[in-house]
Amino acid sequence: MQAGDVQAASGASDLARRYRVDRPVVADEFIAGELVVIHFDTGTYHGIRGSGVGVWQLLDAGLSLGELLAELAVRHSGVDAAAVAAVLEFVAGLERQRLIVPCADAGSIEVASGASRSGASRSGVSGSGVSGSGVSQGAPFVAPELDTRDDLRDFLVLDPIHDVDERGWPNATADA
Amino acid sequence: MLAAEVLALGPGLALTRSDQGLVRFFTCSDGAEALHSWRQWKREHPLDAASFAEMRMLPAAALRLVELGADDADLGRMQGLARYFWLWTQRATRASVESATALAERGVEVVALKGLALHALGAMSPVERPITDGDLLLSAGLEPVAGLLRSRGFRVQRRQAHAWTAARGEREEIDLHRFPLHQDRRSRQHTLASATGLPNAPWRVPSPADLVLHACLHGVRRTSSPGWVLDVRRIVARFPVDWSELVERARARRFALILCDTLRVVADVLPPAVLAALEGSPVTGLEALEYARIAAGSGPWHAAAGAAAHTLRGLRATHARLDDELMARAAQRGRLQWRHGWASEWQRVEPVRGGRDAGAQAAGLHTSELRAPELHASGAPALCAPAIDAPEPHA
């Protein structure tokens, strides 16, 4: 997808906008193929999967929305108008959940190294073989997923061994 | 009697045979052997019957299995445990940071202990080393501290002689310590005096020698998992331990016997003179009683040995000869009554050879130059650690 196509697909979105992860009220870690995030003030727990992991890391590295979309188009095949819309909606979801906040300064942009200040670069409990990034060069685009669990208490009282399915906590069994 | 002679009388109390296998899984550089150890341990410890102590080690086990490229039918649930304990750790850490910040603003010195200290130093990640509460050693009395934290929503839930537990909300628990070691009240002054500051952190952290000592003495309990072994190996690999200081303190505070038994588990990453110095330490009757108490685990012998040790500590101040006489009589009888309570699963530890961090000594790590039994300390360079973001003050 060309840069002009990205602009066209993004509609009226401000592609120059940049965000930062709202630390320290937000903490994150890359575990078991997904990014796990907690917002301490709202008490919500989130699991981020698919291209959402890469989007998070690129936002955290200081890329603007436009730069992020262009980078995704380089990294993935199949980044079409629907993919752009899905990414923008995902970013809007992150902002609604108060996980990211707009920022005025550019920050450091290190696309090549994939550098990120997030905990996503520290932990590598990954089944994908791609430790820390969740983004593989040339891999087909997978829509970003944001799995939000509002009532943390319900999930913390789950027995993390016996009340969960084969995917593990916080995925409860039907009768839990 | 010397520590080595005392230890030779029994199989040791540091690790069960089964847990030695789990340690091999984590530390053995041969992937096939590591996996063999894991499968054997898992056969004896099915996931559905995991104890809480075992559950806390499974996130690190999941990391290790992925590292080895191994399949496991329970990997999904183990990775779920990683998420579960990561969340718990984050909430406990957050509560600890808020508490420590509030206390520091009031002039209370705070030293992070155990897992919280290891995270603060960047020695271990919250995934590989979860915590379920934050351990904080305080320079002030616990009653005024509890009062101060009440305004932050914390309520004291449990009071023990060495620490109080305060909690607020789900999984936001902190242990407020009077002493870092419940066995030794004088450990408080030493830890407070020797702790190191961290940039942008609301707490200091113990010296590397203290980190090792705390990990060993907290870890060697019957209900504990072998996670303390991984803690000690990581501390030794990452930080310059003043071994001479550690040995001298162990001798002075009568921990040489227990410390020797536990450090034998990690002999492959220690300077050889450390164990030699500990093994050559004279052992008092009090020390042998406390060792026997731990070895007994629980039950009437455990209680009896504990009562005797407590009494002897009190008597020792005025009747130092009583301790020596007790030891002499035991030696005359040729035995010490600590075989009670030992189950057959305890086995003398075989040090892991060619461990994954066995090269620590050759990796430029600062260690003291030791000449057993005379030990000479060297200075420990300042610790460097990632900054910890303190929460924004509430409006």
Give the range of the structural domain holding residue B96, as residue numbers without chain letter: 3-342+351-362
Instruction: Answer whether residue B368 is part of any domain.
Output: no
Interface of B with A in 1-60 (CB under 8 A): 47-48, 50, 55, 59
Q: Which one of A23, A148, A161, A173 would you mutate to disrupt binding with B, by most B Cβ within 10 Å of its Cβ?
A: A161
Comparison of pLDDT for B44 and B328, the residue scoring more? B44
Residue B391 included in any domain: no
Find the distance separating the first CA and the last CA of chain B, reported in whole Å: 62
> What would the pLDDT profile of B77-110 be if each residue is shown by its tens digit?
999 999 999 999 999 999 999 999 999 999 999 9
Question: B129: closest CA among B206, B227, B215, B241?
Answer: B227
Mean pLDDT on B235-260: 91
Average pLDDT over residues A4-11: 66
Residue B310's pLDDT is what? 60
**How far from chain centre, in Å, is Cα B209?**
11
Q: What does the pLDDT read at residue B356?
A: 59
Report angle CA A145, A150, A152 to the nearest 5 degrees. 115
Give the minimum alpha-carbon distance from B89 to chain A in angstroms, rounded to a whole number: 11
**pLDDT on residue A151:** 79
Whole-number Cα distances in Å, B152 to B97, B200, B393: 12, 21, 12
Give the strands of the sheet with A26-31, arranged side by side: A26-31, A34-39, A44-49, A145-149
Q: Which of A16-20, B174-178, B349-353 has the lowest mean pLDDT?
A: B349-353
pLDDT higher than threshold 70 for residue A27: yes
How far is B22 from B57, CA to CA, in rounded Å?
10
| pLDDT, tens digit, 9 for 90 and up, residues B177-190 | 998 887 777 888 88
Query: What per-residue confidence (pLDDT) applies to A120?
Result: 47
pLDDT for B366 equals 31
Mean pLDDT calculated for residue range B104-125: 94
Query: Sorting pLDDT into bands at 50, 70 and 90, what band is A155?
Result: confident
Taking 80 as the threshold, does the pLDDT of residue B217 lie above it? yes
User: Residue A76: pLDDT above 90?
Assistant: yes
DSSP assignments along B340-379, one per residue = TT--TTB-PPPPPTTBTTGGGGGTT-----B-SSSB---P
Mean pLDDT of B56-74: 95
Please state the rounded mean pLDDT for residues A128-155.
73
Which helix (H) or strand (E) element contains residue B155?
strand B155-159
Q: Do A40 and B82 touch (CB under 8 A)?
A: no
Q: Residue B315: which pLDDT band, with cuts at 50, 70 and 90?
A: low
Q: How far is A18 from chain B (nearest CA, A)?
A: 22
Q: Do B81 and A168 touch (CB under 8 A)?
A: yes
At B363 the pLDDT is 34
Give chain A's mean pLDDT: 81
> Out of B1-10, B172-181, B207-216, B315-324, which region has the weakest mean confidence (pLDDT)?
B315-324
pLDDT for position B390: 32
Arithmetic mean of pLDDT over chain B: 78
Q: Is residue B219 part of a domain?
A: yes
Q: Nearest-CA distance from A39 to chain B in Å? A: 10
Asked if the Cβ–Cβ distance from A123 to B127 is below 8 Å, we say yes
Residue A101: pLDDT over 70: yes
Question: Using N-to-C axis directions, what is the helix angle for B285-296 and B299-316, rounded to 10°?
Answer: 160
* Across A96-110, B19-33, B262-276, least confident range: A96-110
pLDDT band per the 50, 70, 90 thresholds, residue A119? low
Cβ-nearest to A166 among B63, B77, B87: B77
pLDDT band of residue B297 (cuts 50, 70, 90) is low
Instruction: Taking residues A78-94, report their average pLDDT.
Output: 95
In the predicted model, is pLDDT for residue B11 greater than 50? yes
Q: What is the model's pLDDT at position B100?
A: 96
Query: What SS3 state is found at A19?
Result: strand
| Cα distance between residue A124 and residue B64, in whole Å | 10
Looking at residue B102, what is its pLDDT?
A: 94
Residue B382, in any domain of the structure: no
On whether residue B377 sits in a domain, the answer given is no
B200 reaches A (C-beta below 8 A): no
pLDDT of B136 higher than 50: yes
CA distances from residue B357 to A17, A34, B26, B28, B70 in whole angstroms, order as listed: 46, 29, 11, 9, 21
Q: How far does B66 lie from chain A, in Å, by closest CA? A: 6
For residue A125, give the nearest of B82, B84, B391 by CB distance.
Answer: B82
How many separate domains does chain B show? Answer: 1
Half-sphere exposure of B93 (CA within 13 A, CB side): 29
Query: Chain B contact for A126, CB < 8 A?
Result: yes
Residue in B241, B281, B283, B259 with CA at minimum distance from that of residue B373: B281
- Whether B387 is covered by a domain: the verdict is no
CATH number at residue B168: 3.30.460.40
pLDDT the model gives residue A51? 95
At B165, which helix (H) or strand (E)?
A: strand B163-167
The pLDDT assigned to B357 comes to: 56
pLDDT score at A133: 47
Domain ranges for chain A: 3-151
- Residue B339 or B86, more confident: B86
Residue B67 belongs to some domain of the structure: yes
Best B56, B72, B84 member to test A by mutation, with max A CBs in 10 Å, is B84
Q: Which pLDDT score is estimated for B355?
A: 52
Burial of B310 (0-12, 13-18, 19+ CB in 10 A): middle
Answer yes or no: is pLDDT of A118 > 70.
Answer: no
B376 touches chain A (CB under 8 A): no
Residue A127 has pLDDT above 50, yes or no: no
B133 CA: distance to closest CA in chain A (Å): 15
In this prediction the pTM is: 0.79
Q: How confident is the model at residue B376 (pLDDT cuts 50, 70, 90)?
A: very low
